[in-house]
Amino acid sequence: MFFSWKVITEDELVDLHGKVAIVTGGNTGIGYATVEFLAQKGARVYMGSRNQVKAQKAIEEIEAKLQKSGNYDQASIHWLQLDLLDPRSVKEAATKFIAKEKRLDILVNNACHYSVGPYKLNEDGLLDVMVVNHISPFVLTETLLSLLRQTATLEDSDVRIVNVSSAAHTFVATESFVGKENLNKQFGDSLSGYIATCGYSKLANILHIKHLQTRLNAQSTPITCLALHPGTVMTEGASGFLNSVPFLGFFLERFLGPAFFMSWKQGAGTSAFAAAGKAVAEARKSKDEVERRKYEGGYLVPVANISEPSTYANNGRLQRELYETTIEVLGEMGIVF
């Protein structure tokens, strides 16, 4: 490997015994390693996944590794059935979770649409990549918000909401998020067009997290919201993307992949830091207001560094428009909060 990437260590994360977390897309890739990080620190972790067989296999693998290392004290990992292609079922799953658990300390919206186009409209007239990457995580977050708020009132709470975005959000520009047509915007039927369309949905991840932080701050709710770019990680999605490149795909994955892509564990470092980093907890306790708000609505890049997203991601008007359009579209589907 030509590049050396810092690996987040256990000592850089807070103790999570007695805490509850959800990680979507947790049966593989960055999500898998994030579940491992959080369980290792003692959290009860729910692995959000559509496929129970794959989820159970991943859970058994992680538990076996942690037991072997001696770092699996009181933690437990559970499957949370979650189909992000269907926002209605996401609402139902979140409602059932609230009835089951008395607290939720960490929500990591990690799952991502894997394929690199062509993208399709679903029965509700919504683009599948936007449904999986933004609309369903939005539904999950908004439905769970009451439990997250309740947890934030507990003594010594440190509630965090994390959206795993991508540097691909910088590839796109937009002047408006008003109306379904802007929610469904596509950038062409070429490989670069598909990447831009996916990047557009990842822009939505950052706009959502920043608007959410603004809303929570206005209500004096002590919850930290973070978005992040995990880096170039050899996930199933990355492998599929490389193999989608005509003629060169196999060569790119076989020879360039190991040189330029991080492992799952390395790639999950920024997610683990956002979810449980000690530095974030310490900043929240600072008497200095600037330091205290250092991570609020922030954007992280590898490994666990604060950075600036695109000017579009920082645009307050676009943040409000995306929120209002998403609420409107969901209302038409019968999903209300």
Q: Is the dihedral of CA 235, 237, 243, 248 positive or negative?
A: negative
Of the residues 49, 136, 165, 166, only one is catalytic, namely 165
Pick from 48, 77, 75: which is nearest to 61 by CA? Answer: 77
Q: Is 165 a catalytic residue?
A: yes
* 309-335 core/surface letters (b: 16 or more CB in 10 A; e: else): bbebbebeebbebbbebbeebbeebeb
- CA–chain centroid gap for 169, Å, is 14
220: its two tokens: 């004096």
Torsion of CA 79, 81, 85, 89, to 10 degrees: -150
φ/ψ of residue 267, rounded to 5: -65, -30
C-alpha 87/C-alpha 136 separation (Å) is: 5
Q: Is the dihedral of CA 228, 99, 94, 57 positive or negative?
A: positive
C-alpha 253/C-alpha 60 separation (Å) is: 28
Contact call for residues 197 and 119 (beta carbons, < 8 A): yes
**Residues recognised as catalytic:** 165
